[in-house]
């Protein structure tokens, strides 16, 4: 699996020109295959999303690297992730930040990710079953927030409330299938500054109210 992992990182660097060495060296160390059920493992190092059951997917390696890069973590941050899925993105974040709080709406995925992360020794990741539109108020405010499910045209206001001043929120946004990767920064005055990046595809963010 190590060779395949090296190939994965090489693809992110050469095909997409993504260069943050910290993110890539973390991705080189984490056994991505351990985050998916055995029946889906063949595809785990290919350059695309991987099924994790319950109609959900683990993001493409490039997407994980891209979103992590946009957070510009230094190791001191408290991060909130919405959409735990397999727990892989949370594992990557945990090696680049102080602590990761992650919320997943499907109970079986939340339980599965919690187990995997514990087994692999990721002690600074906390998983909770719940809906991301409420964030995780108890541990707020966060230095960084990442949404790994495709939102509509708005970020739930509650998430901005739980973001520290000077903090960054990264989320895929858009009405249709194409989502625009968007980075928001909450400045010292509490104003939100938006910056748009490329187009990505995601499983949809589910509103609990539906």
**For binding to ligand SAH (CB under 6 A), which residues are involved?**
56-59, 82-83, 85-86, 88-89, 103-106, 109, 131-133, 148-149, 203, 205-206
Judge whether 59 counts as a catalytic residue: yes
The secondary structure of the chain in percent helix, strand, coil, rounded to multiples of 5, reads 35, 30, 35
How far is residue 12's CA from residue 210's CA, in Å, rounded to a whole number? 37
DSSP state of 1: -
Which one, of 83, 102, 104, 87, lies nearest residue 151 by Cα? 83
Residue nearest to ligand SAH (CB): 85
Please report how close the Cβ of residue 148 comes to ligand SAH at its closest, in angstroms: 4
Minimum distance from residue 172 beta carbon to ligand SAH (Å): 10
- What's the rounded Cα separation, in Å, for the pair 204 and 201? 9
Q: Which is nearer to ligand SAH, 187 or 208 (CB)?
A: 208
Nearer to ligand SAH, 106 or 169 (CB): 106
Q: Which is nearer to ligand SAH, 113 or 188 (CB)?
A: 113
Annotated active-site residue in 20, 59, 86, 94: 59
Least distance in angstroms from the C-beta of 187 to ligand SAH: 27
Q: Which residues does the annotation mark as catalytic?
A: 59
């Amino acid at each position: 699996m190590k060779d395949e992992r090296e190939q994965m990182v090489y693809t992110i660097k050469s095909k997409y020109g993504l260069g943050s060495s910290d993110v890539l060296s973390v991705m080189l160390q984490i056994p991505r295959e351990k985050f998916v059920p055995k029946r889906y493992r063949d595809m785990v190092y290919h350059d695309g999303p991987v099924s994790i059951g319950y109609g959900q997917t683990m993001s493409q390696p490039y997407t994980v690297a891209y979103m992590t890069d946009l957070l510009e973590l230094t190791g001191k941050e408290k991060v909130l992730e919405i959409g735990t899925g397999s727990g892989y993105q949370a594992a990557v974040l945990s090696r680049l930040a102080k602590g990761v709080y992650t919320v997943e709406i499907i109970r079986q995925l939340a339980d599965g990710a919690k187990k995997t992360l514990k087994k692999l020794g990721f002690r600074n990741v906390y998983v909770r079953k719940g809906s991301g539109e409420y964030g995780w108020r108890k541990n707020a405010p966060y230095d960084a927030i990442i949404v790994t499910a495709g939102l509509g045209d708005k970020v739930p206001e509650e998430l901005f409330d739980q973001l520290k001043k000077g903090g960054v929120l990264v989320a895929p946004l858009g009405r249709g299938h194409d989502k625009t990767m968007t980075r928001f920064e909450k400045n010292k005055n509490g104003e939100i500054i938006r910056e748009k990046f490329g187009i990505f595809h995601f499983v949809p963010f589910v509103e609990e109210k539906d």
